[in-house]
C-alpha cells in the first residue's frame, strides 16, 4: 500500500511523537537504574574519557573484562572476592558500558573495536600502576583480552599482558549473520526509534529471560539478576553502544586473528561445550590449533557463564596462568 502525502505526514508525525515519548520514558528509567546501581569504584581519565574500575587485593596484577551487555558487576558479584586474597584484581567497565565513556566513532552505527577498547584500557591500567597483568576476559571481553595481547606484540610496555585467560571468549570469525536484534538496533533508525522503545518498555520478565538464556543449561546464582544492574545496559546510550559493538565486531576479529600466531605468552581457555552464545567449536577449538601456548579446558555440558557456574575451573585457570608466568 502506498500512503498519500497526508497519511504519510501523519505516520511520520506519529512515529516522531512515539519516539519522543519513548525517549522520555527511557531517560526516566535510566535515571532510576543509575540511582539503584551507582558506580562501585573509581575513575581514571584517558584522552578525555572516564574509565570506571574496581580494584581489590594485593599480589600480581589480574584484570577482568566483562562481556557484551554487561558491566564490572558481573565480576564483583562473587569472583573478585575469590581472587583478591592473592592477586591485585582490577575489573573495568569496558568503554561505553557500565560507567565508562564510549569511544567516539566516525561511522555513527559502529561500536568501539576490541583494539580501540584495549588501547583505552591499557592506558587506564598504566595510570593505575598495573604491571605485567594477567588479562582475563569473558565473552566479548575475551576478544578484548586477545587485542590487549596483540597490542603487546608491537613494543615492550609495562602493561603488556603476561598471560591471557579466555572465559568463553570470542576468538575467531563466525559463519553466517547475527540475529536481527543486533542489526536492527545498531542501525541509524533502530538507534533512534527501537532502542528508546525497548529501553522504556521492556518488562523485567524479558530481562530475566535473557539472563536465564545466557546461563542455560545452568541457572543464574540466587541474587544475580537483582545485583547485575541490567537497567544500566538498557540506558539508551549504553544499549546503542552495546549492539553496535557486537554488530560491527566480526571484521575486527578477522584482523586480530591474523596476529594470533605471534602470541607466545601463556594462554588459558575455559569454555563450555553447551555454550550456544560463543560456540566452542568455532572459537576455542580452532584457536588452540593456531597458538601452541594455549591450553583449553573443555567443560562438558556447561553454557556461557562458567565463571559463575564453574568458578573453581576458572580460578584454577587463572592460577595456572600465574604459575606459567612465574608469579
- Measured distance CA(202)–CA(104) in Å, rounded: 27
Residues lower than pLDDT 70 in the chain: 1-24
- Domains of the chain (ranges; CATH) run 42-175+251-325 (3.40.50.1820)
Per residue in 308-318, pLDDT (tens digit) is: 999 999 999 99
Cα-based distances in Å from 105 to 68, 102, 194, 317: 18, 9, 21, 35
Indicate the pTM of the whole model: 0.92
pLDDT of residue 24: 61
pLDDT of residue 108: 85
pLDDT of residue 6: 53
- Measured distance CA(183)–CA(177) in Å, rounded: 9
pLDDT of residue 26: 78
pLDDT of residue 323: 98
Amino acid at each position: 500500500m502506498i500512503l498519500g502525502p497526508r497519511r504519510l505526514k501523519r505516520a511520520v508525525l506519529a512515529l516522531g511523537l512515539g519516539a519522543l515519548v519513548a525517549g522520555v520514558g527511557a531517560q526516566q528509567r535510566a535515571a532510576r537504574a543509575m540511582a539503584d546501581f551507582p558506580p562501585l569504584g573509581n575513575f581514571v581519565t584517558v584522552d578525555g574519557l572516564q574509565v570506571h574500575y574496581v580494584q581489590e587485593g594485593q599480589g600480581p596484577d589480574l584484570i577482568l573484562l566483562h562481556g557484551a551487555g554487561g558491566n564490572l558487576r558481573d565480576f564483583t558479584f562473587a569472583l573478585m572476592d575469590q581472587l583478591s586474597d592473592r592477586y591485585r584484581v582490577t575489573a573495568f567497565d569496558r568503554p561505553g558500558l557500565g560507567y565508562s565513556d564510549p569511544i567516539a566513532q566516525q561511522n555513527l552505527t559502529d561500536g568501539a573495536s576490541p583494539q580501540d577498547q584495549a588501547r583505552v584500557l591499557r592506558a587506564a591500567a598504566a595510570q593505575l600502576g598495573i604491571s605485567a597483568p594477567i588479562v582475563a576476559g569473558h565473552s566479548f571481553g575475551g576478544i578484548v583480552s586477545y587485542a590487549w595481547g596483540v597490542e603487546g606484540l608491537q613494543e615492550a610496555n609495562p602493561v603488556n599482558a603476561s598471560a591471557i585467560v579466555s572465559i568463553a571468549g570470542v576468538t575467531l570469525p563466525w559463519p553466517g549473520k547475527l540475529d536481527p536484534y543486533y542489526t536492527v538496533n545498531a542501525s541509524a533508525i533502530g538507534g533512534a526509534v527501537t532502542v528508546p522503545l525497548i529501553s522504556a518498555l521492556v518488562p523485567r520478565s524479558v530481562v530475566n529471560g535473557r539472563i536465564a538464556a545466557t546461563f542455560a543449561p545452568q541457572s543464574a546464582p540466587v541474587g544475580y539478576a537483582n545485583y547485575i544492574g541490567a537497567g544500566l545496559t538498557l540506558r539508551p546510550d549504553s544499549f546503542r553502544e552495546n549492539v553496535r559493538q557486537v554488530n560491527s565486531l566480526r571484521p575486527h576479529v578477522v584482523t586480530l586473528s591474523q596476529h594470533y600466531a605471534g602470541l607466545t605468552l601463556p594462554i588459558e581457555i575455559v569454555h563450555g561445550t553447551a555454550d550456544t552464545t560463543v560456540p566452542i567449536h568455532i572459537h576455542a577449538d580452532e584457536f588452540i590449533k593456531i597458538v601452541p601456548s594455549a591450553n583449553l579446558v573443555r567443560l562438558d555440558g556447561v553454557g556461557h557463564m562458567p565463571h559463575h557456574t564453574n568458578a573453581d575451573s576458572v580460578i584454577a585457570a587463572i592460577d595456572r596462568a600465574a604459575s606459567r608466568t612465574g608469579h
